[in-house]
Amino acid sequence: MSVKLDRRKKYTRMLLKESLMKLMQEKPLSNITIKEICDLADINRSTFYSHYTDLYDLLYQIEDEIIKDLSEALSSYNYTKDEEALQMTENLLVYIANNRESCQTLFSEYGDPSFQKKVMMLAHDHVIKTPLVGKHTKPDISEYVSLYIVNGSIHIVQSWLKNGLKQSPKEMAELIIKLGNRGLSSFQ
């Protein structure tokens, strides 16, 4: 009996998450009501409140799940090996492609800026450990180099999502690593 309830609970939460993401593609969270989410998910308000305290609780749980997944993926790499930077970047892009709708929505103009900042800081904490930053820069400027690479990479990913993922995750990973390693001079 509890397995059935767990499946039903997961399904309901999935519907609520998908409904919020769909609505956030059209308008900011401040203009979305719980009633709209419930109508779209075809559930009643009491069911919503049995899972979440409010819209922000729902949004933060979606964001936290993505941050947790990204953190686990980033933590599984050895940053002393150059070749793993490409593999790590490609795997992150595969994750983003597989979760395209949520990632695209959360990184859009209607997304939560604090989520975008959390992703940037998470990436920054891992990029600063890579040989890309560590061995090629002086310690006093490595922080700036890392922030530059992360911010540029996030904007590349946002554009990639917005343009419909026309390039493969591997192609995008190679571009990001190439820009990070050698900057614009690698394209001349």
Question: Is residue 67 within 8 Å of 31, Cβ to Cβ?
Answer: no
Q: What is the pLDDT of residue 143?
A: 77
- Whether pLDDT at 118 is above 60: yes
Given this chain, do its domains 2-52 and 62-187 carry the same CATH topology? Answer: no
- Whether pLDDT at 99 is above 70: yes
Instruction: Between 125 and 66, name the one with better pLDDT.
Output: 66
Instruction: Provide CB contacts within 8 A for 179, sequence distance 6+.
Output: 149, 152, 153, 156, 186
Q: What is the pLDDT of residue 188?
A: 47
| Mean pLDDT calculated for residue range 87-111 | 88
CATH of domain 2-52: 1.10.10.60
Distance CA 3, CA 96 (A): 30
- Whether pLDDT at 130 is above 70: no
Share of the chain above pLDDT 90, in %: 44
Q: What is the pLDDT of residue 12?
A: 94
Residue 87 burial by Cβ neighbours in a 10 Å radius (0-12, 13-18, 19+): middle
Domain definitions of the chain by residue range: 2-52, 62-187
Instruction: Between 70 and 51, name the one with better pLDDT.
Output: 51
What does pTM read for this prediction? 0.78
Among 65-74, 131-140, 157-166, 175-184, the range scoring the smallest mean pLDDT is 131-140
Distance CA 4, CA 47 (A): 16
Nearest 10 degrees: Cα torsion 42, 44, 50, 54: 90
Share of the chain above pLDDT 70, in %: 84
Q: What is the pLDDT of residue 107?
A: 87
- Whether pLDDT at 166 is above 80: yes
Architecture of domain 62-187 in CATH?
Orthogonal Bundle (1.10)
**Strand, helix or coil for residue 168:** coil
Structure-block tokens of residue 72 = 């686990």
| Average per-residue pLDDT for the chain | 84
> Could you give the C-alpha distances from 31 to 5, 6, 65, 91, 128, in angstroms and in order?
32, 31, 23, 34, 38
How would you classify residue 77: left for phi > 0, otherwise alpha for psi between -120 and 50, otherwise beta? beta
Instruction: Between 186 and 182, name the one with better pLDDT.
Output: 182
Task: Concatenate the DSSP letters of all residues of 91-148 into one string.
Answer: HHHHHHHHTHHHHHHHTSTTS-HHHHHHHHHHHHHHHTTSHHHHTTS-HHHHHHHHHH
Write out pLDDT tens, residues 142-156.
778 778 888 888 889
